[in-house]
Structure 1
């Protein structure tokens, strides 16, 4: 990325040099070129690892290119399927001198954690069987590997990290062989595996298809692109399809291995990829591993001890975080689309489409969501579309300086959950369109100019002593329990079963003004001048098209003349009660909500309620998400 940017800067600055007339400069630039730009190593399925990696003589594997690449180099991967685990042994030297892994422009490069399997024999009816030598799997056999860990609920049966795929889509693991063999069965798409002495046997139903005539694959590798070592900084991964990984359960108290992730490193850019079919997590920005992994669910200290150990082991912005995850399509992960405990600090997650996360309900536990972050310190979550997940965004412990803006969430089990955070964090200009929108068990949250099309739920008091941090830091400033209140609600539109009267009698007072309550939604008595339309149905509806998604809704211009609203600023919001901090953006600038969902300027004298500054009376159609 930096190569192209630098070339563009030279042209923009008018640095046009007639090289033939300036031999000294030519020589100087030639000498500096390798240091400034690095080399490009080409990889092709038609290549050979004995080659030098030129366009004419490319390498065969991405891993071999990774072993050769140094800071400033680019690994250019050409069209094809690469069945390998990429374990980068080193990273870049700085943000400007990265190691870049990218698919060649206009070419589809796929990295898979699965292998093709042929040689299926029919057992009876629609049941097929294949026997594979255990040596095929090397040191890791997903059909022996049980999913387990802190806060995982096995629900009375075994779950393995292996999977069976028919033409790119996965089958369901049966709890017992009899389920697969039974005539008729519960499903036409089931598999069951058994590992004995020197072989692994898999029985499967393929919905009437002949597996020897179709593409059948099985998980073989735990991850696809993930360094074994920590501290592999400044890597870019761009433009790939990454799929089919036997990832483990990723609780906040253990190493969180995703289909792709930096493993406790700094400054990764993961962009423009398709990340899908991970048994547990897709992208991990999470915790390193140590001898206490998966030992904390029932311990007295639990996650607090994990945080304290991480601080001793270098949990600082100088060592981890500062990642960029943008414009990816993330789907078909049974735990989380993006997961991160501690390691996501100071990161940006933007423009991603995240869908079908834990939607098949194979696994159960306390760590499942489209985005699940513990300690989202100064993290920006902006412009993402999250749908068909068990829970859209879950900010658990130490959401401080977190900025959640301009996201579209629909058809989720719940759109957002903020759990035992003390703030400050900001939730602004979002479209929460599921039946259950936001669940609040936190203080120090500012909810500004959002559209809540379903219920907002406020949970009861939580006695856990959870940390709050120093300003824009990972240093612990103190611990506190979780009373109700100390939240700010300004200029939102609520429609449906929300009832904010719970804030009438809570321990900590909240600030509320400029909100609109429709179709049964009820304001708190603490709000002096709410606009209430108990019988006004805005008819909120999300419409899908070839271009993307549009929001249809009925609005009323009377909401503007009914009262004069204030432009939301840090001064208006004040400081949080528990952490004692002002509301600031992740970059330290005071909050000032002077733009809407589209980035258009708001009327500073009387901003409109909800995410859109410009709307008309009656029916509106808002273009809310364009396909990438």
Structure 2
């Protein structure tokens, strides 16, 4: 009986294993713009969109070299053990673009150096100026159209009579696009490549467990706050991709547990990327550089990125540099986010701006040369690290060197929406700043920008105004700071940091410049009046070659002895010690 039962079970088990193996391996599809020898013709497809329609869990799509002018939407799920993989073929140049090549040009009857072609596209139709935002500042910046000639972007004008070399004009009434080449060439010449962005999105992934690798995304006609690439599914991975030259935001992440690895976000009109409710997002080994090329309002949303209502995001081992705005910007209700082992350099506003959010852990970063844009309205937001009305933050083992300000605390009367719904007041409290090396920052090594009237940022003995009512025992976070609060109630801890202001540079500034403020030049005064830095030190700092970001310090350096130095590696910087 047992033998007969085993004989019946054995074929079923073998069949199950075969089916599982077949499912786990999936099918291989090849997207190519011409027939490729040596590859089964039944697995060759001419467009990415057609390949995506055939996808099942475990399948792999290999895209061969070429420029693919299509909008791709992925809506079929992989599984944890059988993800869908869409990748560029090894060492092949794969571009997915939102632009079309325009070839049907007519000479303008008024000016023979101007050419026109039919233009049926309208990207923003809900306001009279076709812009987002719709204010006067963004009247030109907020348009979506882009034109490239031989890969160089042209400037847009809003009136036909203002056309000149290297510009274009969109006449939405006549449905025409007018272009004048920089070199006054005939745009009908086949040797001239003229492209215009016609798709507002390039790539949308609504699915879970999808891996995307090695693709270059560019030239989307997306409006502000809209990602050219949109990843809204969960448990997705992006590796070795490039997001560039889009009109607004290179990519938007809104799924959970997304991993973005070794990707580049550059030359985008508004932001390198954005994230909203992207809980557990990991960004590692990435480069985010030269974004906000169109000049969107930096106080609204522009720069390297903007992250909102996201819990547990980690940014690690990445480079944020030369963005026209903040390098890294967390704004609105973020919780327990981490920035570690990053190079954050030469961004025009703050290196890291953590605004009306909770629980930043910033550690082991190299943060240099940030905050030097002329932007008087951005007081308190032009430091290496700026903390704005955000409680429960820990800042440790960072190099904050050569910024406009090293660390700033910005305070106003603020509240924030919450991930779980509702909103509540927020203010800077329970902040620990320890074991950092803060040196050669122009205006101050630390500046507390408290634009508030209750004087909570001063010790009781230094407060000059009386509270309007007495502190209540039942005051809590939903009510804002208790009346009668003083500096010690905020639980701001500065300890064991090393400071080195250069000649004429500030040490500790406390208070905004248009209200009572004190510029401290000695740590003893900071200790005596603010009760900060009882274990901190003023010390000389010597780097091997700062200009080349060789930030090694002598083996006997106080920075090493006090552990005021990053642990681990930081891309783009050389860390460690040397023997003099």
Question: Residue 612 and residue 62 in structure 1: after superposition, are their counterparts in 2 closer, same or farther (change >3 A)?
Answer: closer
Q: Distance in 2 between matches of 1:509 and 1:217?
A: 57
Deviations 1:520-555 (A, max 9, x none): 45255311022213x757587353xxxxxx435665
**Residues 141 and 220 in structure 1, CA contact (< 8 A), matched pair in contact too:** no
Which of 332-341 and 362-371 deviates more? 362-371
Cα distance change of structure 1 residues 175 and 516 upon mapping to structure 2, 3 Å threshold: farther
What does the per-residue CA deviation read over 1:123-177, in whole Å, with 9 as the maximum and x for residues that have no partner?
A: 588943122152xx599999x9933149x77445474211001222322212332
Residue matched to 2:216: 241
- Structure 2 Cα separation of the partners of residues 444 and 126 of structure 1: 64
1:85, CA displacement in angstroms? 0.4
SS at match of 1:70: coil
Higher mean C-alpha deviation, range 458-467 or range 269-278: 458-467
Is residue 330 of structure 1 aligned with residue 336 of structure 2?
no
Residue aligned with 1:34, SS: helix
Q: Answer whether contact 2:445 2:499 (CA < 8 A) is retained.
A: no
Equivalent residue runs for 1:26-105 within 5 Å:
30-46=18-34, 54=40, 58-92=44-78, 94-105=79-90
- By how many angstroms is 1:394 displaced? 0.1
Separation (CA, whole Å) in 2 of partners of 1:408 and 1:560 = 19
Unpaired stretches in structure 1, ≥5 consecutive residues = 1-22, 182-187, 251-256, 287-319, 469-473, 544-549, 568-592, 600-610, 619-628
Deviation at 1:375, TM superposition (A): 2.1
Q: 2:437·2:559 contact (CA, 8 Å) conserved in 1?
A: no
**Partner residue in 1 for 2:533:** 527
User: How far apart, CA to CA, are the structure 1 residues paired with 2:296 and 2:155?
Assistant: 8
Which residue does 2:432 correspond to in 1?
488
Cα distance change of structure 1 residues 27 and 54 upon mapping to structure 2, 3 Å threshold: farther
CA contact (8 A) 2:354 2:386 kept: yes
Mark the CA change 1:64 to 1:130 in structure 2 (over 3 Å): closer, same or farther: same
Q: Structure 1 residues 80, 482: closer, same or farther in 2, change over 3 A?
A: same
Aligned counterparts of 1:125 and 1:536: Cα–Cα separation in 2: 63
**CA-to-partner distance for each residue in 1:214-254, whole Å, 9 max, x for gaps?**
21100011111114xx5x2222111111111011221xxxx
Deviation string 1:67-125 (CA, Å, 9 cap, x unpaired) is: 11011111111111111000123222x22222211111222221111111124455588
Question: 1:312 corresponds to which residue?
Answer: none
Paired with 1:121 and 1:321, the residues of 2 have a C-alpha distance of: 49
Count of aligned pairs between the two proteins: 486
After TM superposition, the structure 1 = structure 2 runs for residues 322-401 of structure 1, keeping only pairs within 5 Å, are 322-342=257-277, 344-361=278-295, 366-390=300-324, 391-401=326-336
In 1, Cα distance between equivalents of 2:68 and 2:214: 14
Structure 1 segments of 4 or more deviating over 6 A? 23-28, 138-142
1:596 matched to 2:568 = yes
Using the size of structure 1 for normalisation, the TM-score is: 0.69
Equivalent residue, structure 1, for 2:155: 172
Q: 2:395 aligns with which of 433, 447, 454?
A: 447
Q: 1:613 to 1:488 in 2, by over 3 A?
A: farther
Relative to 1, partners in 2 of residues 1:169 and 1:30: Cα closer, same or farther, differing over 3 Å? farther
Whether the 8 Å CA contact 2:30–2:63 is kept in 1: the answer is: yes
CA, structure 1 residues 129+457, in 2 after alignment: closer, same or farther (shift >3 Å)? Answer: farther
For the Cα contact (< 8 Å) 1:464–1:481, is it kept in 2? yes
C-alpha distance in 2 between matches for 1:159 and 1:484: 34
Structure 2 residue aligned with 1:438 = 385
The structure 1 residue matched to 2:181, chosen from 198, 201, 205, is 205
Aligned CA distance change for structure 1 residues 352 and 127 (closer, same or farther; 3 Å): farther
